[in-house]
Chain A
Amino acid sequence: MTAPAAAPAAPAAAPSLTPVFVRLKLSLLRNGLRQSSGRRAAYVASAVVALLFAALQLLGLILLRGDEHAATVTVILVAVLALGWAVMPLFFPSGDETLDPTRLVMLPLRPRPLVRALLVASLVGIGPLFTLCLALGAVIAVARGGAAVAVGAVAVPLTLLLCVALARAVATANVRLLTSRRGRDLAVLSGLVIAVGAQLVNFGAQRIGSSAEGLGELEPAADVLGWIPPSSALSAVHATGEARYATAAAQLILSFAALLLLLHLWQRSLTRLMTSPDGSTLAAAEPDRRQRGGGLFARLPAGRTGPVMERTLRYVWRDPKTKAAWVTSLAIGLIVPVFNALQDTGSVYFACFAAGMLGIQMYNQFGQDTSAFWMVAMTVASTRDAYEELRARALALLVITLPYAALVTVLTTALLGEWHALPETLGLSFALLGAMLATGAWSSARYPYSIPQQGHKNVAPGQAGLAWISIFGGMLAAAVLCAPVLALTIWLHTAGHGSWTWLLLPVGTLYGVAVTGAGLRIAAPRVARRLPEILAAVSKG
């Protein structure tokens, strides 16, 4: 079991699995593309972008040849790439049907040839091609001398295999988790890592950009990464070029050992997976949820308002898609004004970002219900019912949004020390929030669309246009709706009535309330009239 990949072909007369799996992958790809022209276009577009990007990267890396930081950059690039491969299966668990072991359970397959066949099949695709380009470019950038080129010739396929095997090992290990409901919920939430991570990377990059040492700051990190596969394979090429042969040999051996270990782990979890019950039965062990509604929920208003608010708030916490959307809004609503304030590039008005981001949650209210919207539709019999439904949802939103927007505003103001601007910023925030709630209610009624429950897409295929109109049209409309309060703010400042800006707090608040009320009243009859159409639109996920 030490070298599964290198095992000789089975002596039996049975045809080899490997070409079968490669053909299976190709036909799945082809059939998937044949299903719809939209999907074909999307695939071709992403392929072109990926290849273009790969080519540019290859070019960039070739140009990097001879640069003093070449080794640092390539080692880190490969490490990031490997990280991407490792994380990818967590985000797209069903991305590759040929590699889904649960589909192969019924077939009489031995693990060793299966692993080999799956590994080769996973080398087909845009991702591996992209990786190949990058590995090739990295080797070209750092290989100096014939020996280094020879090591490079080994390092490129080694890197590629390591990346693919890593992804497969992680995916297989996770299938058990991902077939349970809780695991899938976690996978959806992992989208947040990207949203928040991107912000952090952004600030990290800014720091490197502003620091005098520049890329040199990364050198210690690269030294460590150089000993971690698959970066170690690349590091070996560099070491060979510098005649540090012992280091090179050690790094190369390390890379090989890692590959064998990964394949071994993969094979083991594959075997276990295919001989034990699937993880969906784990759901039976879900915890109880006793009524804890004594506190907040008991104090909600009676009639339709209370139960709707209660359900909406419970969904913020329990529904992974809704939760992911909320946490993203909360995080970005806080990060943008506060980080900007910390870097002294901010303005106190950035605090309105919190209200704006959270107001987005009012959009596509019924899409958030998914097809369970029928339960709402069955009980909405009049414009009055629809109005109460929308109002309750807006109120539930405000329970979180109002204190949060106020908190972010106060925090931003405190960081900037511009206390005099607090009332007007709060007023502007509330006016914006009101406008977002109003346009959100209206566009929920006019442009509903489905939110698929699985995966990371937030729009059902074919409804992306609707979603764009709904959100961006709505935000534009919200900005226009805010114009009177904005105009008043600007006028107070330019006309020298700076001491009267506190007036914007009551004015903005009242304006927000009035606009919300009007928006709900305009949206309600539309909801009541279009219940079947809304249900059809939100049931596509």
Chain B
Amino acid sequence: MTEPAVHVHNLWKAFGQQLAVAGVDLTLPAGKFIGLVGPNGAGKTTTLSMVTGLLRPDQGTVEVVGHDVWKDPAEVKARIGVLPEGLRLFDRLSGRELLAYTGRLRGLPGTEVDKRATQLLDVLDLAGAQHKLVVDYSTGMRKKIGLAAALLHNPEVLFLDEPFEGVDPVSAQTIRGVLERYTGSGATVVFSSHVMELVESLCDWVAVIAAGRIRAQGPLAEVRGDAATLQEAFLELVGAHGRDAATDLDWLGGGSTR
């Protein structure tokens, strides 16, 4: 396991005048639980989209498990699982139909797909809703069925964009359990989030992104450094420290109307 799971070199992407990703360099080790953290609008989704081949970069190279995403898509797509944020699923299928469709599209034999789908639905606590349309699922259920679809072909690297966003604590715990078991077997999870406590409790490797650039990357302890929490270290890194709202808003509190 010397080869990095993901190697990103000098990645750029602009939308019109807006520079979303400005020269990202990343080397993510295999077999780790990796958190990509940054404030809203930092370029997390854009970076992940380019890494997974869903968005074409303006410049730069991306290698996943040693294969170039844009030159060798067949090798890469077979080895990765993706759960994007803000893109729909084929939500007019039921949960089970969605898994059956995805698995067969991935080239797995039908009986194997059905077996794995049943297990995933069970583990993710979706068995009771498997015959309901995904469009009628709650946010947490959608994330879980998306995760199931991403895991179905047993990928080497799993990319999850904000997998815990809008998810209730029970579903979050379920997702967490599945992901921990998955990395325990030597696979790599790369997920983005802006919730530092979550990243701190889950990840052993962290990359901090802000304004389209990587501010720090490395093992959690290294990135955290001397700071008490990752949150502190993060605020320091993105330069958001020292803003204090206490001086204004002196009228706030108490609830009287005038």
Contact indicator A531/B105 (Cβ below 8 Å) = no
Closest Cβ of chain A: how far from B104's Cβ, in Å?
4
Q: Does B133 belong to the interface (CB within 8 Å)?
A: yes
Interface residue count on the B side (C-beta < 8 Å):
37
Query: Is there contact, CB below 8 Å, between B91 and A378?
Result: no
Which of A306, A315, A377, A535 is B104 in contact with, Cβ under 8 Å? Answer: A306
Is B167 an interface residue, CB under 8 A from the partner?
no
Q: Report if A381-B78 is in contact (Cβ < 8 Å); known contacts: A283-B136, A289-B133.
A: yes
**Nearest Cβ on chain B to A9's Cβ, whole angstroms:** 23
Is the CB–CB distance between B53 and A531 below 8 Å? yes
B55, A536: Cβ atoms under 8 Å?
yes
- Are B133's CB and A311's CB within 8 A? no
**Pair B54/A375 contact, Cβ less than 8 Å:** no
- Chain A residues with CB under 8 A of B107: 303-304
Chain B 86-132 interface residues, beta-carbon cutoff 8 Å to A: 86-94, 96-97, 100-102, 104-107, 110, 131-132
When C-beta atoms are compared, the residue in chain B nearest to A287 turns out to be: B132
B73 engages A372 (CB within 8 Å) = no
A526 within 8 A of B: no
| Chain A 365-392 per-residue mask, 1 if CB under 8 angstroms from chain B, else 0 | 0000111101111111110000000000
Chain B residues near A303: list those with CB within 8 A: 104, 107
B84 within 8 A of A: yes
CB-CB under 8 A from B87, the residues of chain A are: 371-372, 374, 539
Contact A378 B96 (CB under 8 A): no
- Given contacts A311-B93, A378-B77, A381-B74, A318 and B104 within 8 Å (CB-CB): no
Q: A420 on the interface (CB 8 Å rule)?
A: no
Q: Which residues of A contact B74 (CB under 8 A)?
A: 381-382
**Quick check: is A67 within 8 A (CB to CB) of the other chain?**
no
Interface residues of A in 496-541 (CB under 8 A from B): 531-533, 535-536, 539
* Closest Cβ neighbor of A320 among chain B residues: B92
Closest to A528 in B: B73
Give the chain A neighbours of B131 by CB distance below 8 A: 288-291
Question: Contacts of A536 on B, CB cut-off 8 Å?
Answer: 55
Q: Is B189 interfacial (CB-CB < 8 Å)?
A: no
Within 8 Å by CB of B92, from A284, A310, A315, A382, lies A315
Partner of A375, one of B53, B102, B133, B136: B102
Q: Total number of A-B contacts with CB less than 8 angstroms?
A: 94
Q: Which residue in chain A gives the minimum CB-CB distance to B84? A: A374
Interface centre among B74, B78, B93, B106, by most chain A C-beta atoms within 10 angstroms, is: B93
List chain B residues, Cβ under 8 A from A376.
105
For B73, list chain A residues within 8 Å (CB).
381-382
Contact of A308 with B by CB under 8 A: yes
Q: How far is the CB of B225 from chain A (nearest CB, A)?
A: 37
Q: Tell me the B62-85 residues at the A interface (CB within 8 Å).
A: 73-74, 76-78, 82, 84
Considering the complex, give the chain B residue whose CB is closest to the CB of A371: B87
Chain B residues with CB below 8 A from A39, complex form? none
Are B149 and A375 interface neighbours, CB within 8 A? yes
Contact with A along B6-32 (1 / 0, CB 8 A): 000000000000000000000000000
Q: Across the interface, do A286 and B93 meet the contact criterion of CB distance under 8 Å?
A: no
Cα-based distance from A179 to B149 in the complex (angstroms): 28
Residues of B within 8 A of A181 (CB): 135-136
Could you tell me the distance between the alpha carbons of A539 and B15 in the complex, rounded to whole angstroms?
Answer: 15
Question: Contact check: which of B54, B77, B93, B105 meets A314 at CB < 8 Å?
Answer: B93
Is B56 engaged at the interface, CB distance under 8 Å to the other chain?
A: yes
Q: Does A319 contact B (CB under 8 A)?
A: yes
The answer to whether B133 touches A532, judged by C-beta atoms less than 8 angstroms apart, is no
List the B residue with the shortest CB-CB distance to A536: B55
Closest to B137 in A: A283
Cβ contact of B88, chosen from A289, A315, A370, cutoff 8 A: A370
Question: Is A128 an interface position by the 8 A CB rule?
Answer: no
Q: Are B90 and A369 in contact (CB under 8 A)?
A: yes
Q: Decide if B135 touches A314 in the complex (CB within 8 Å).
A: no
CB neighbours of B106 from chain A (8 A): 379
Nearest A-chain residue to B56, judged by Cβ: A532
- Residues of B near A375 (CB, < 8 A) are 89-90, 102, 105, 149
Show the binding face of A for B, using Cβ within 8 Å: 181, 283-284, 286, 288-291, 302-304, 306-308, 310-311, 314-315, 318-319, 369-372, 374-382, 531-533, 535-536, 539
6 A-B pairs closest in CB distance = A381-B74, A307-B104, A318-B92, A371-B87, A288-B131, A532-B56
Q: A372-B88, A381-B78, A536-B55 are in contact. List 18 more A-B contacts (CB 8 A).
A: A286-B132, A289-B94, A307-B100, A307-B101, A311-B90, A314-B92, A369-B90, A372-B87, A372-B90, A374-B82, A374-B87, A375-B89, A376-B105, A381-B74, A382-B74, A531-B54, A532-B53, A532-B54
21 contacting pairs across A/B (C-beta < 8 A): A181-B135, A286-B132, A289-B131, A289-B133, A291-B96, A306-B104, A307-B105, A311-B101, A314-B97, A369-B90, A371-B86, A371-B87, A371-B88, A372-B91, A375-B90, A375-B102, A376-B105, A377-B54, A379-B105, A532-B53, A539-B87
Q: Taking beta carbons and an 8 Å cutoff, which residues of B are in contact with A?
A: 52-56, 73-74, 76-78, 82, 84, 86-94, 96-97, 100-102, 104-107, 110, 131-133, 135-136, 149
